[in-house]
Amino acid sequence: MNFNRIDLNLLVVFDIIYKKKNLTKAGEKLNISQPAVSNALNRLRELFNDPLFVRTSQGMLPTLKAEELAEPIKRVLLDLNNIINIEKEFIPANCDRTFWLSMTDFSETLLLSRIIERLRQEAPKVNIAVFHSNREERHKLLESGKMDLAIYSHYPKHKEGNDKFNIQFTSKTDLYQQKLFDEQEVCVVRKDHPKISNALTTKQFLQCDHIHFAPHQSMNEVGVVEKVLMEQKLKRKIKLRVSNTMAMLDIISRTDLIGVVVKRLAINFAENRNIKILPVPFEMPKLEMTQYWHERHHNDPPHKWFRNIIHQISKRF
């Protein structure tokens, strides 16, 4: 194959068709017409001497040859993007970028005020936009560049890596993740609860009515508290499910419902409020707060700087 025959724009078209599996949607993504996409695909077929994508009821599916090409082409495009966007020197004070973050209300409460204060000192032109997303959306948003970082807690299944910053690939091989800090969960009740004083037994825990936090997209999923109790053949009584932890804590302060939340959020809320914090009366796994990003941003100087700010702030916890 003569390298001089290769139009690098064709590799972009290949990558988008591979992701979208639809020529019309690929055209919309590339801001070109569907006939233009078809023409580019014909040139790709001639270049690689293979159909590459075949029309099926499930869309334009890749041939074996296309599957072999997909990962190398993606890497080439990422490398080209990094080369084009190399900056000789990144100066935070001159940066006027908006970083788009997906966070829980807990991570917002804990981190955002500290991040804003740091930006005020180092990069006053930088802005932040925060929104919520579900697990299914996050990878697509990170991959597309519409999201810079996702900051969420999870229950780790594996031990930490050996990287000194604990940066590692996730199960999605084009995403990086970095542990920010550990968190534990506690039980929260109102101060004048009729059944609970300054200690909480498993029996009391099970006798009380509960409020349960679950993001809207996982309302029907079995929670970790439930899984821990199921192992002991136990079950709690959930009377109310909510998708906002601040609303959950406010409801606890006004009712006899009790709930399980992350400790730092409970401490932040407890000051001058009608709630008290008690240990969960059985062993619970620890949570890890983690930030995730796509490899397209991994070597981008502003992105690296911003990730590092979040990591440094998190060390205080």
pLDDT tens sequence across 184-240: 999 999 999 999 988 899 999 999 999 999 875 555 667 889 999 999 999 999 999
In CATH, what number does 92-181+289-314 get?
A: 3.40.190.10
Residue 299's pLDDT is what? 86
In CATH, what number does 3-84 get?
A: 1.10.10.10
Asked whether residue 168 carries a pLDDT value surpassing 50, the answer given is no
- Give the span between the Cα atoms of 134 and 111, in whole angstroms: 20
Residue 316 binned pLDDT confidence (cut-offs 50, 70, 90): confident
- Give the span between the Cα atoms of 258 and 261, in whole angstroms: 10
Nearest to 245 by CA among 134, 108, 135: 108
Residues 153-159, mean pLDDT to the nearest whole number: 67
Residue 165 binned pLDDT confidence (cut-offs 50, 70, 90): very low
Residues 301-309, mean pLDDT to the nearest whole number: 95
Residue 189's pLDDT is what? 96
- Give the span between the Cα atoms of 162 and 252, in whole angstroms: 41
Non-local (6+) Cβ contacts of 32 within 8 A are none
Residue 160's pLDDT is what? 40
As a whole-number percent, the residues of the chain with pLDDT over 90 amount to 63
Architecture of domain 185-285: 3-Layer(aba) Sandwich (3.40)
Mean pLDDT taken over the chain: 88
Residue 169 binned pLDDT confidence (cut-offs 50, 70, 90): very low
Distance (Å) of CA 54 to CA 44, 47, 67, 216, 273: 13, 16, 12, 38, 62
Q: Which residue has the higher pLDDT, 75 or 52?
A: 52
- The ranges assigned to domains in the chain are 3-84, 92-181+289-314, 185-285
Domains 92-181+289-314 and 185-285 fall in the same CATH topology:
yes
pTM: 0.67
3-state secondary structure the chain: CCHHHCCHHHHHHHHHHHHHCCHHHHHHHHCCCHHHHHHHHHHHHHHHCCCCEEEECCEEEECHHHHHHHHHHHHHHHHHHHHHCCCCCCCHHHCCCEEEEEECHHHHHHHHHHHHHHHHHHCCCCEEEEECCCHHHHHHHHHHCCCCEEEEEECCCCCCCCCCCCEEECCCCCEEEEEEEEECEEEEEECCCCCCCCCCCHHHHHHCEEEEECCHHHCCCCCHHHHHHHHCCCCCEEEEEECCHHHHHHHHHHCCCEEEEEHHHHHHHHCCCCEEEEECCCCCCCEEEEEEEEHHHCCCHHHHHHHHHHHHHHCCC
Question: What are the pLDDT digits (tens) for 110-140?
Answer: 899 999 999 999 999 999 999 988 877 888 8
Residue 6 binned pLDDT confidence (cut-offs 50, 70, 90): confident
Question: What are the pLDDT digits (tens) for 255-280?
Answer: 999 999 999 999 988 877 899 999 99
Question: What are the pLDDT digits (tens) for 66-123?
Answer: 999 999 999 899 888 777 766 557 899 999 999 999 998 889 988 999 999 999 999 9
